[in-house]
Structure 1
């Protein structure tokens, strides 16, 4: 069967396209490498999350090669790659129907107008490839609002210095909040900060055939057993399948996109669940299998017209990969230093902290010495949270001060102290990971996956400016913890990438020489090929990416729908 639209991947970048086109009457096919799991298969299984990587491929079967920067004995820098099957460092984020959106925390901050014009506002930064977006916040804003309605975002607008323009309030009231949220509010006000509620892609009341949040305390990294989380499968794909116009083939690993001499894609080659080679064709093709794997697929799809990979005659596919810069911080609250009421509040489990700081989304501080040395820079977001998973919390307490493993009563005493004497409040810092020439995706010529195909080789070089911004923000978060009365306050900012936050590799832009996609995320060189996952982003912003990926995919879906209608209405 020939389909109208064939989509590779099923996550936040794929599902809005499938949902929009299937509802419009188009025949849509999704090819998803992972299995088709539902709420019935999602349990709050800490062993599956903390000690096993239950929803991702085995690294012995499917891996990446990660290139890091080292120095030799003479101080000379060099790059060296290591397969993740050896390091154990997984760059997978959820190979199931619905993709990694199944396992997100659902922090749904919008980008702000400044994020679309970093180069114009802050100028060039030496060693960075910063470019303005070819669209504006105003063009994307209606689709942010659409995501809030269709996915189900719960929140409350609170005015603060960097509140972005909005056309409407949130469609659902905030989810329940942990009592510690009020501690943050009080301390923030005391020191002149503006604590704001965090919008969550989690239903605070039943809607759209889904249940509301059950407040189990297990959200990040876990599939949602109630359907409250706004993952791609529960929020969009279930409804798209119900139209009768969407077909999903799980356990289908796409390895090559065929194209003709004129440069149009003619078919998708994939391995089915039995390892057999299959071929499907469509009129329009959409690739949305997360940034690294999207670049890998296009680079592997060579042809006579595209000897270096599909849509890559300008050599831009895989370039300007970005992650999210920043780090973490934490502080302890000892029970013996608190009143009985405060102890009871701190011990509550289930509701979310749901507090963030964006006071420094733009830094204007003469004491800040960033890359431009003007006291001005793009800043970021600080989100507060608890780690609720006991196994994750217990890991790290099994060793004594000398790093030796503890056993018996010594271990028992350490665990008892960990769980009964204090609780740790943490924060995460999100700031821009500047695109550079040292962060990109290529194909590894030696390491292959279980099907014999070359794996992606990923260089993960970071720009020094990212660390300066991250450290600046982490100090602000630590100051709030101090104002709350926390003890043992510490922060950590690293140039290592968080593997669950990746974008770029197929950036969109006006100039075909320096971008892969046009403003509608159609490949400059391939008329019937679109990329709608986070690959399109020239810069990542200072918030988690999923919300923006959803919004942009809805925007592109409307463009594809108009194109499909024009073709389908022809005699």
Structure 2
């Protein structure tokens, strides 16, 4: 059977395309490597979900090879690769229908106008491949608004020094806030900071056939059992399927996009659950497998016209991979130092802290140096008790304890204090040492070459992250926290990846044009985070959604024109 649109992947970059085209009447096929799970499979079991990585492949079946930089005693540096089946370092973040959008925290900050012109605003940075986007904030703004409506974003707009322009208010009121949010506001005001409520892709009231948030306290890394979280599956694909025009084939692993000698795509080759080979044919093809895997698929799709991989005759596929730079911080609040009412507030479980700082989204501080892009600080509680209990099995001399001593340690851990944390998000500058290739030796369970990922970072990322972390620590001190610390590193967060197929106006330095259409292949589009030439200083999912809706409108126009030509 032939389809109008074939979409490879089903997450934030895929679901808006399937949704938009299916509702327009196009016949859409979605190929997803993982299973099709629903709310009933998304239970809150830390041991099963968080520790056993329930929604991702076994690393012995599917893995990556990660290249890190090492230094010899002589001072010489070298890159060394290690399979993740040996390190246990998983770069998967949700291999199911709806992808990693099922398991996000749903922090939906928009990018700001400066993010679209990083090179023009702040100039070149030596060793970084900084580039302006081929579109502006105003080009994407209507699609941010569409995501807020169609996916369901809860929030409220406040006056803020770095508030980006908006055309509409939030369609849903804010989700319930933890009592400590007011403490953050008060402390911030006392030191001249400006807090802002965090927009969340979580319904604060029932709508669109979905329930509102149930405030279980388990959100990040967990699937949503109420359907309140705006995953691509719950918010968009369910409606696409209901239209009668969208077919989802789960447990279908695409291994090659096939082309003829002229370079025209002739179909998509994939394995089903039983390992049998199939071919899907369509008029338009959309790749949205998440950044690393999208680059891997294009590199593996070699043909007569593309000996180095599909759309890769300029050698740009896989280059300029980015993650999210930054780090974390924490401060403890001991109950003995608080009033009874304050202790009761601190012990509250369920509502979100939902506070962020963006005062330094643009850093103009002589002590830092020349003007630079800064970032975002988000505050949160970690609710996972098993993770919190880790460490209680040791005494202060690192000796293993058990019995009564272990019980006392656990009692102290869970009944005497609580830790407020913050996360720093800032730009991971694209550079020549962060990219995707195919590993020549390691294969997945189907025998296909896995992605080899070099994860080099730029020192500027650390400088910005440390600057922001100091601001977060200052706020915790103003709140009266103790044991305050923070950590910023160049290790990538594996759930925040983009780049590898950046879009731009010059085919020599980019893979895609401004519509995320491959420069070298007329009917191929890449709509996950791969398109981003720079990442901004917020989590990527919101922008991936917005851009995918934008590209979906362009594909819809192309498809409608093709339909008129067939009739005419």
TM-score range (shorter-chain normalised) is: over 0.9
- Whether the 8 Å CA contact 1:394–1:418 is kept in 2: the answer is yes
- Whether the 8 Å CA contact 1:251–1:272 is kept in 2: the answer is yes
Q: SS of the counterpart of 1:117?
A: helix
Tell me what 2:185 maps to: 185
Distance 2:138 2:51 in 1: 44
How do 1:102-117 residues align onto structure 2 when only pairs under 5 Å count? 102-117=102-117
How do 1:49-88 residues align onto structure 2 when only pairs under 5 Å count? 49-88=49-88
2:547 counterpart of 1:552: yes
Tell me what 2:229 maps to: 229
The CA deviation at 1:196 is 0.4
Root-mean-square deviation (CA, aligned residues, Å) is 0.7
Distance 1:298 1:271 in 2: 17
Where does the alignment leave 5 or more consecutive residues of structure 1 unmatched?
none
How do 1:171-570 residues align onto structure 2 when only pairs under 5 Å count? 171-369=171-369, 374=370, 376-570=371-565
Distance 1:459 1:399 in 2: 36
- Whether the 8 Å CA contact 1:50–1:392 is kept in 2: the answer is no
Distance 1:477 1:398 in 2: 30
Distance 1:62 1:46 in 2: 23
Q: SS of the counterpart of 2:70?
A: strand
- Whether the 8 Å CA contact 1:180–1:353 is kept in 2: the answer is yes
The CA deviation at 1:559 is 0.1
Q: SS of the counterpart of 2:553?
A: helix
Q: SS of the counterpart of 2:184?
A: helix
- Whether the 8 Å CA contact 1:50–1:391 is kept in 2: the answer is no
The CA deviation at 1:569 is 1.3
Distance 2:156 2:497 in 1: 28
Distance 1:413 1:461 in 2: 43
- Whether the 8 Å CA contact 2:502–2:533 is kept in 1: the answer is yes
- Whether the 8 Å CA contact 2:50–2:221 is kept in 1: the answer is no
Deviates more, 1:213-222 or 1:261-270: 261-270
Q: SS of the counterpart of 2:214?
A: coil
Distance 2:233 2:45 in 1: 20
Distance 1:291 1:213 in 2: 29
Q: Under a length normalisation based on structure 2, what TM-score does the superposition of the two structures give?
A: 0.99
What are the Cα deviations for residues 360-404 of structure 1, in whole angstroms up to 9, with x where unaligned?
0000000004xxxx2x11000000000111112112333333334
Tell me what 1:15 maps to: 15
The CA deviation at 1:42 is 0.8
- Whether the 8 Å CA contact 1:98–1:232 is kept in 2: the answer is yes
Q: Under a length normalisation based on structure 1, what TM-score does the superposition of the two structures give?
A: 0.99
- Whether the 8 Å CA contact 1:332–1:423 is kept in 2: the answer is yes
Distance 2:125 2:419 in 1: 37
Q: How many residues align?
A: 566
Q: SS of the counterpart of 2:144?
A: helix
**CA separation of 1:404 and 1:451: change in aligned 2, threshold 3 A:** farther
The CA deviation at 1:97 is 0.2
